[in-house]
Structure 1
Amino acid sequence: MGVQLGPLILKKVVSLRDLEGKFLAVDASSVLHQFLSIVRCPDGTPLMDSHGNITSSLVGLFYRSSRLIFEYGIPMAFVFDGKRPEIKFSWLSEEERKERNERREKTVREWKEAKARGDLAKAFSKAVTTGKLDRQIVSDAKRLLDLMGVPFVQAPSEAEAQAAHMASMGDAWASNSGDYDSLLFGTPRMARYVSVAGKYRNVWLPSKPEIIELQKFLKALDITREQLIDLAILIGTDYNRGIKGIGPKKALFLVKKFGTIENMPAPISSQFSGSLAKIREAFLKPSVTDSYNIEQGSIDEEGIIEFLCGERDFSKDKVLNAIKRIRKADLRGQQSILKWSNGVS
């Protein structure tokens, strides 16, 4: 879900070429969700093999991400979520959980109804919100990345926190995610809209990537990172319920006027009694690891063909053409990785 900071964000729109040689620590679940949403049949049905395994995310990784890495020369490491923090969504009541499930079921029902009456545009627009990651999709993604020689990191907990940590340590130029939580986790720089752009089956997507610099953002707001976290808490995060009637601009006003939530009027501060320290700690001291390898490996062409064509029913001609394209562009990708390794950013 992520915190809604949109109206406050200070961003710089760039081109993919601007990211050449810039190593990205990618929130894998964010990217896979994007592929699951848009890489579908015209009626919204996700791509699948003959055994019912969803392959939309594999299509996105193999054909889209490979272009970014090898043709645009943007080195990446994909970071996968580990154990969910106990605090995450713990504030939802059983009734709210039930309502969420009912909304999803309603969307699925509306998608199927639109598909049945031949309204493909409506069907696709409904289907894009029904994608859900499961163990098989994640396992397949890791397997393909390994065969492509693209590094991935298993986070102990939140992938966004791990990616932010890698950027903070200088092992990545930026963390790449669709959520602004990365800023709360302390990434010095985050990139958005790198994996998808343009128009796909009548669904408009952001046309260019965006870069957000944490320190420039904080300076523009005239607050600290700790105050940004308090601002987010007022709005609502994955770790707490926000206060009704308080949006980003009002939260910023309150933080700048009172400094911290504890100093705010009782009707506000009392709503977080006993939980503030735990919520703040979840962002300031998340569970991360320094045990990871982000060196790019070699491409296993035979392994890719066996997996994608032999097991997941991909077109062999298309896979071979993509491999040729990757092989041709691989030198550019290797040069970009070398530039990053030598400290050129």
Structure 2
Amino acid sequence: MGVKFKDIVTAEEINLKDLEGRTVAIDAYNTLYQFLSGIRQRDGSPLMDANGNVTSHLSGILYRTASIVDKGIKPVYVFDGDVSEYKTKTVEKRRALREEANQKYEEAKAAGNIEEARKYAIRSSRLSPYIIESSKKLLEYMGIPYVQAKGEGEAQGAYMVKNGDAWAVASQDYDCLLFGAPRIIRNLTLSGGLSNLEYLELDKVLTEIDLSREQLVDVALMVGTDFNEGIYGIGAKTGLKLIRQNSLEDILVQKGITDVEVEPDELREIFLSHDVNTDYKIKFKSADKEKLCEFMCEEHGFSETRVLNVADKLKKLSSTQKSLEDWF
């Protein structure tokens, strides 16, 4: 879910045309959750093949990626790696919420309450090993590269942009700012209209709110992140005001918080010095039509006509020459 910065960060409105020819590092987990939550049947059930395997994520990757490529954008998916020990509580909390939502979904479905069932079904979405591995397999057959992060995908994406291997990170999470991503794209869904696309530039964001990146991280720690609960009663606006006049350590003293579960410096390191995968290669290939059809049509029951149509759209990636603008 990430840190809640909507009240203090203003995004620019851009057009898909602005991304033409650029490589974009897509937050895979963030995107997969979108597919699992949004691509469902009327009663909230996920799309499934004849064998009962969930295919909502495969449908999302197949068609959205094809649309992105068709717009002249080069997508690279970035998958999360190991979960930080500091994220354990967040993971457990989310798991409990999903289990509760799943129970309410089953109850609503049994009662014939379709609207309630769908609402709770969306909240019960989870990433299983099958979903992650089948997503990677589909991308491989499509000729779309993906990068496996050591830890947080947002941190890996930020590194890739700073390293010149991508122009921006595409994610809904403001955490990308904390990890130092120079440029971030939000709402790269191609379903909400061109005016829905948002652009954040780290330097501009820091200038507008008159903070350093280190101070922004401290605001996040007060508000609460996936790695810590934050300080009760402090939202983004309040945190912004406080950090301009005090250090985080001073604020903790002022609030009477002397016993913290994790030292601020340890939490800062997560965002400022995150361990990333530096040994990756980004190479766009031609789609393997035979394997793509075998995987999507024979194994999962997708329309061969539609799958081949996607393969045709992917031909735009036949040129692996990077856009000169990707280097700036």
Does TM, scored on the shorter chain, surpass 0.5? yes
- Contact 2:164 2:326 (C-alpha < 8 Å) held by counterparts: no
Q: Using the alignment, how far apart are the partners of 1:44 and 1:265 within structure 2?
A: 44
1:49-88 paired onto structure 2 within 5 Å: 49-69=49-69, 71-88=70-87
Structure 1 residues 245, 343: CA separation in 2 closer, same or farther (over 3 Å shift)?
closer
Structure 1 residues 124, 194: CA separation in 2 closer, same or farther (over 3 Å shift)?
same
- Contact 2:161 2:167 (C-alpha < 8 Å) held by counterparts: yes
Q: Using the alignment, how far apart are the partners of 1:315 and 1:114 within structure 2?
A: 32
The amino acid of 1:323's aligned partner reads A
- Aligned match of 2:189 in 175, 190, 195? 195
- 1:168 Cα deviation from its structure 2 partner: 1.2
Q: Using the alignment, how far apart are the partners of 1:193 and 1:296 within structure 2?
A: 23
1:126-205 paired onto structure 2 within 5 Å: 126-195=120-189, 197-198=191-192
Q: Using the alignment, how far apart are the partners of 2:115 and 2:46 within structure 1?
A: 15
Q: Using the alignment, how far apart are the partners of 2:63 and 2:223 within structure 1?
A: 38
Structure 1 residues 86, 245: CA separation in 2 closer, same or farther (over 3 Å shift)?
same
- 1:317 Cα deviation from its structure 2 partner: 2.9
Two-structure CA RMSD over aligned residues (Å)? 2.3
- 1:344 Cα deviation from its structure 2 partner: 7.2
Q: Using the alignment, how far apart are the partners of 1:177 and 1:300 within structure 2?
A: 28
Answer yes or no: is 1:305 the counterpart of 2:293.
Answer: yes
Q: Structure 1 unaligned segments of length 5 or more: list them.
A: 200-205
- Contact 1:38 1:128 (C-alpha < 8 Å) held by counterparts: yes
- 1:187 Cα deviation from its structure 2 partner: 0.4
- 1:42 Cα deviation from its structure 2 partner: 1.2
Structure 1 residues 65, 100: CA separation in 2 closer, same or farther (over 3 Å shift)?
closer
The amino acid of 1:121's aligned partner reads E
- Contact 1:233 1:242 (C-alpha < 8 Å) held by counterparts: yes
Identity %: 39
Answer yes or no: is 1:249 the counterpart of 2:237.
Answer: yes
Residues 27-78 of structure 1, C-alpha deviations (whole Å, 9 max, x = no match): 1101111001111111110011122211110000111111102x10111111
Tell me the SS of whatever aligns to 1:29.
helix
- 1:271 Cα deviation from its structure 2 partner: 4.8
Tell me the SS of whatever aligns to 1:153.
strand
Residues 69-114 of structure 1, C-alpha deviations (whole Å, 9 max, x = no match): 2x10111111111111222235x6xxx94x7555433322332333
Answer yes or no: is 1:281 the counterpart of 2:269.
Answer: yes
Tell me the SS of whatever aligns to 1:198.
coil
Structure 1 residues 265, 244: CA separation in 2 closer, same or farther (over 3 Å shift)?
closer
- Aligned match of 1:109 in 81, 96, 103? 103
1:209-220 paired onto structure 2 within 5 Å: 209-220=197-208
Equivalent in the alignment of 2:253: 266
Residues 195-243 of structure 1, C-alpha deviations (whole Å, 9 max, x = no match): 35339xxxxxx96221111110011110100000000000111111111
- Contact 1:197 1:207 (C-alpha < 8 Å) held by counterparts: no
Q: Using the alignment, how far apart are the partners of 1:158 and 1:136 within structure 2?
A: 20
- 1:248 Cα deviation from its structure 2 partner: 0.4
Tell me the SS of whatever aligns to 1:141.
helix
- 1:266 Cα deviation from its structure 2 partner: 1.2
Tell me the SS of whatever aligns to 1:270.
coil
Answer yes or no: is 1:19 the counterpart of 2:19.
Answer: yes
Q: Using the alignment, how far apart are the partners of 1:141 and 1:234 within structure 2?
A: 35
The amino acid of 1:253's aligned partner reads K
- Contact 2:44 2:121 (C-alpha < 8 Å) held by counterparts: yes
Q: Using the alignment, how far apart are the partners of 1:151 and 1:341 within structure 2?
A: 19
Tell me the SS of whatever aligns to 1:266.
helix
Q: Using the alignment, how far apart are the partners of 1:227 and 1:89 within structure 2?
A: 25
- 1:182 Cα deviation from its structure 2 partner: 0.7
Structure 1 residues 132, 207: CA separation in 2 closer, same or farther (over 3 Å shift)?
farther
Residues 109-150 of structure 1, C-alpha deviations (whole Å, 9 max, x = no match): 332333334433332222111110011111111111011110
- Contact 1:16 1:208 (C-alpha < 8 Å) held by counterparts: no
Tell me the SS of whatever aligns to 1:79.
strand
- Contact 2:22 2:326 (C-alpha < 8 Å) held by counterparts: no
Structure 1 residues 15, 342: CA separation in 2 closer, same or farther (over 3 Å shift)?
closer
Deviates more, 1:49-58 or 1:12-21: 12-21
- 1:23 Cα deviation from its structure 2 partner: 1.2
